[in-house]
Amino acid sequence: MDPDIKHLQDPNFATAMLSMVRTGSDCKSPSDVAWQVCDSIQNGLCLDDIILYLMNDDSTELIQAAAAGPKKSPDRNISNPIRIPVGHGIVGSVAETGHAEIIDDTSVDGRYILDDAHRLSEISVPIIQSGRLIGVLDSETDPKGYYTSDHLARLELMASVASPHILRVMAEINLENVSRRKNQLEQIAAQQTQVKEQLNAMETWLSRESINLTQTLHHELRTPLNAIMGISEILDDICNRGDPSEKELIPFASMLKRSGQDLLDRITDLLEVPRLSGNDRLSSTGLQEVDVALLLGKIHSRLTHNAEKSEMQIELDVQASGAALACDPVALSRVICYLIDNATKFSSNAAVLVRLVVDESGKPQEIAVIDQGIGIERAQIDRIFEPFLQLDQGLTRRYGGLGLGLPIARRLCRDMGFTLAVDSHPGRGSCFSVKFC
C-alpha cells in the first residue's frame, strides 16, 4: 500500500485530516481558524509544538499568528511573539526558497533563531496557495535528529490541505475592515455552518478499516461548498461593477472565489482516493456521443484567462473532425484539465500545446497535451501515477497540489476504455496522450 494512503488510515492522522477539512465551519473569527489548524496538526502528528507563521502584507516578514504547545497561552495568544524577516533564520530561509527543511541539530546551524527555548531539532514547511507563499509551519523539539521523512510527508500534506483555509483567514481579516461588505460575509458564515452539518457524515469514515465514501456523501460535501462558491461569485460581481469605492475589495473577492474552488477540487480528489485501488467507476455521467473538437474549445476558453495571468500560453491544435466520440464528457474534461494543469506547473513560461489527432475519416484518435518542461526520467514514469507521489518536491511546493491529478486521470481513462500514455525526455518536455483506440 502506498505510504501516503496508509497515512489516511492512521486513526490519529485521519482524525486530524477530517478536522482540517472541517476547519472554519465552527469558528467565530479568522483567528479561530488559524488556532484550529495548529491544534489539528499537533494532534495528527503528535508534535511537542507547532507554530503558524503568516507573511505580512508586503511579503518582507513572517509573523507568528497561532500555535499549539508552549507558545500558546491559556487565553489563546502567542507568548512573546516574534517576527522573522524573509531570508533570516531557518523559517525565513524556507519562506525565501519555498523548500521544506529538517534540521537534525540546531546547535550547529548558524541560522537558528532562539525563541522561547533552545531545542535541538526543527522542521519547517512552506504553505503555498495558488503559486503564492503565504506562510510557514514550524515545529521544534529537544532530542537531536527527531524529525523523519514521515513527519515531513505528513506535515506537507496537512499544509497543502490547510492552505486554502489560511488564505481565507488572510482575506477575511482584510474584509473585516470594509464595513459595507458585512452582509456578504454573514452569508458566507451561514453557509460554512451548513458545511459543518454536512461534513458530520464523514465521521463514519474513522470507524471503518476500509474507507468507502459513497456518491451520496460526495454530493453532501459538494452541495454546501457550491453554495459558498455562488456567494463568492456574487461578491465578485458586485466588486466588478466599476464603482471606485469597491476597488479595494476586488483582490479579496477573487481570493475567496479561488480558495473556495481549490478546496472544492481538493475535497473531490481526496474523496476519490479509496476508489483508485478498487473496481468502482470514477466516471458516472455515462457514455455519450461527443464532439471532441467543440469540447476542447470550451476547455481552452475556460482555462486561457487564468493561464494568461501566470504568463502561460495554452495553444489548441484541432484537426477537422467529422465523427463524434463515445465518451463521458465530464470525465474527459476532467482528464484534459488535469493534464493541462500538470503541464503548466512544470513548464516555466513555455507554451502548452493541446492537440486533437483524427484519422483519414475524421474519427478522433487521441488528444495529446505537450509541454516543454523539465521532463521525466523513463524509470520514473510509472511512479507519477501513484497517489500523492510528487517527483519534484521543489516545484510542487511552489505550485501546491496533492499529487492526485495524474492517478485520477488514468483511472478515468480506464473507466471509459481509453489509454493514458506518456512520452517524456528529461530537459525536453513531456507528451501525455489520451488514446481512444
**CA 230 – CA 289 distance, rounded (Å):** 31
Query: Which residues are CB-neighbours of 395 under 8 A, at least 6 positions away?
Result: 345, 346, 374
Mark residue 242 as left, alpha or beta (left: phi above 0; alpha: psi -120 to 50; beta: remaining): left
Spell out the domain ranges in the chain. Answer: 3-276, 288-435
pLDDT, greater one: 271 or 165: 165
Mark residue 159 as left, alpha or beta (left: phi above 0; alpha: psi -120 to 50; beta: remaining): alpha
Q: DSSP assignment, residue 313?
A: -
12-26, 94-108, 195-209: which has the highest mean pLDDT? 94-108
Helices (H), 72-199: 89-97, 149-175, 182-199
Residue 198 CA to chain centroid, in angstroms?
21
What average pLDDT is seen over the chain?
78
State pLDDT tens for residues 384-429: 888 766 655 555 545 556 678 888 889 888 888 999 999 988 888 8
Tell me the backbone φ, ψ of residue 357, rounded to 5 degrees. Answer: -105, 130
Tell me the backbone φ, ψ of residue 35, rounded to 5 degrees. Answer: -65, -40
Does the CA dihedral 359-363-366-371 come out positive or negative?
positive
Task: Say if CB 120 and CB 142 are below 8 A apart.
Answer: yes
Query: Which residues are CB-neighbours of 340 under 8 A, at least 6 positions away?
Result: 299, 303, 314, 352, 354, 369
pLDDT tier at 216 (50, 70, 90 boundaries)?
low
Task: Say if CB 181 and CB 235 are below 8 A apart.
Answer: yes
Does the CA dihedral 213-13-400-393 come out positive or negative?
negative
Task: Say if CB 4 and CB 153 are below 8 A apart.
Answer: yes
E strand or H helix at 431:
strand 429-435
**CA 363 – CA 321 distance, rounded (Å):** 6
Q: DSSP assignment, residue 72?
A: B
C-alpha cell at 52: 503558524
Share of the chain above pLDDT 70, in %: 66
Span 209-233, mean pLDDT?
A: 59
Residue 209 has pLDDT above 50, yes or no: no
Query: In the block, which residue shows the cell 501525455?
Result: 432
Mark residue 340 as left, alpha or beta (left: phi above 0; alpha: psi -120 to 50; beta: remaining): alpha
**CA 244 – CA 298 distance, rounded (Å):** 33
Fold matches, 3-276 and 288-435: no
Span 118-147, mean pLDDT?
A: 93
Span 39-56, mean pLDDT?
A: 91
C-alpha cell at 346: 512544470
Question: Given this model, what pLDDT does residue 168 score?
Answer: 76
pTM above 0.85, yes or no: no
CATH 2.60.120.10 holds for 3-276: no
Reported CATH class of domain 288-435: alpha beta
**CA 266 – CA 58 distance, rounded (Å):** 28
Mark residue 185 as left, alpha or beta (left: phi above 0; alpha: psi -120 to 50; beta: remaining): alpha
Residue 279 CA to chain centroid, in angstroms?
26
Question: Given this model, what pLDDT does residue 184 score?
Answer: 62
Task: Please report, for residues 23, 134, 159, the alpha-carbon distance to residue 342 in angstroms, rounded to integers and kept in the order given.
Answer: 28, 22, 20
Question: Given this model, what pLDDT does residue 142 score?
Answer: 93
